[in-house]
Amino acid sequence: MSLTHSNVSIKDALINADYRPLKIAIIAHSLYPIAQPYAGGLEMITQLLCDELVARGHKVLLYAHKDSQTQATLIPLMTREQFDALVYDNEHDAVGMSREDMYQYLVYQQALGDIIARDNRCEIDIVHNHSLYHVPMLVGQAFGKRFFTTFHTPIFPHLRLALLTLKQGTTTQFTAISAHQQQLFDEFVPSKVVYNGIDVDSFRANIEPIDDEVYFWYGRICPEKGTHLAMQYCQAAGKRLIIAGPESNQQYFDNEVAPLLAADANKENGEALFNYVGHLSKEQINNYLCQSTAMLFTSTWDEPYGLTLAESLACGTPVIGFDVGAGAEIITKETGIIVAKCDEPAFIKAFEDIKDISRKACRQRAEQFCSVAAMVDGYIDLYRQAVSSESPIANVASKAHSVTFNNHYTQGDNSKNKQRVI
């Protein structure tokens, strides 16, 4: 007897379950456009995810700021002008909320309403939430296993509110961008790790040894990034350091970084060690990394991932960094040296040992572990499992696939598998 369900043949079921493009709704963070120049790593990751999914043939709706740029179909979120036209000036006071919180609340309620309506018309397979807000996490329970939330940040108050509710029971699913991040949220809900990915191919790599020893630090110049620590360590070891990034905390820059720059520039003997080059473009950062002996990572907080680590590896540049957050998950002993946070002697010793690291190994690590393709592979595997677990046709297809595979195996059939959209 052949395996069928509602007059659907095995062949059709397999095509529906395993091969067909998915219909995916992506919910972005609402405050900034998903576009370059990126406001932060979250915006970059969201754009890369959407564009790669579209490139693989999937149908993607991106719910995001109206000025976003994407290969997906953009569904603009409610603008502030639309919000102001919708509610009275003092409406937020009447419900005991800040105006900003009320805006976020209505933005995501409207977006989820549209997604639910599309789902009722069978236009949605998967909903993937990157919003950092509690409303999608709670309303998303209507989708069961087909609703995913990715944790990108520490547990902010809005996330905690949702997590305290979902801790009581939910069938929605969660992903973390590192094992460190996964452990942080384990108190509330289980999650699976899908590491962030970058567009490795967009970075030019230098895999040849660096003759002119110089180090590079880049990122937001603020206390939690520890810019002054990288400068102090280089000063103590007599190493040259190029510093790049926006002065995102002016008080910190004025009190901690500027005095070190001034003292270095005004010293009577010896060549200046520090060169602050300001806020750079991606191409400029690429150029500096390719010319640097190593990238210095002195973040003093537990970063959930650390995009600068992946970008450095993509350029073939080893890393000397603190053992914080996901640093040791990204940087292996073949691609850098990880030391205890604020361990100055160990950091200074690493200046000598880092020269033995293969730049080719760094680029290979980026290609294999830090790529957009690897990230999207991980998400699509979870999407497929979620759709399969809730689809009777897909369950039939799974059984049919098993029977077909076993028959091929026992009969010695070595024919190639049909190419499918992944």
Q: What is the mean pLDDT of each run of 10 residues along the chain (422 residues)?
A: 43 57 97 89 95 98 98 98 95 93 96 98 97 96 97 93 96 97 96 97 96 96 97 98 95 98 89 94 96 98 94 98 96 98 98 96 97 96 91 44 36 36 50
- Write down the pLDDT at residue 18: 61
CA distances from 226 to 80, 89, 298, 328 (A): 36, 42, 5, 18
- Write down the pLDDT at residue 39: 83
Q: Among candidates 131, 127, 128, 173, which has minimal Cα distance to 152?
A: 131
- How many residues appear in the chain? 422
SS3 73: strand
Q: What is the rounded CA–CA span in Å between residue 179 and residue 177?
A: 7
Model confidence, pTM: 0.84
Tokens coding 397? 């297809």
| Cβ neighbours for 330, distance < 8 A, ≥ 6 positions apart | 178, 195, 305, 306, 309, 310, 313, 369, 370
Tokens coding 66? 């109206």
Dihedral sign, Cα of residue 210, residue 238, residue 285, residue 265: negative
- Write down the pLDDT at residue 405: 32
- Write down the pLDDT at residue 12: 53
Q: What is the rounded CA–CA span in Å between residue 337 and residue 351?
A: 9
Asked whether 318 and 362 are in contact (CB, 8 A), the reply is yes
Beta bridge partners of 147: 127
Strands (E), 37-76: 59-64, 73-76
- Write down the pLDDT at residue 152: 94
Angle of helix 392-411 relative to helix 372-390, nearest 10 degrees, comes to 110
- Write down the pLDDT at residue 176: 97
Q: What is the rounded CA–CA span in Å between residue 404 and residue 402?
A: 5
Q: What is the rounded CA–CA span in Å between residue 315 and residue 309?
A: 10
- Write down the pLDDT at residue 264: 95
Helix (H) or strand (E) holding 327: helix 327-330
Q: What is the rounded CA–CA span in Å between residue 237 and residue 4?
A: 72
- Write down the pLDDT at residue 299: 97
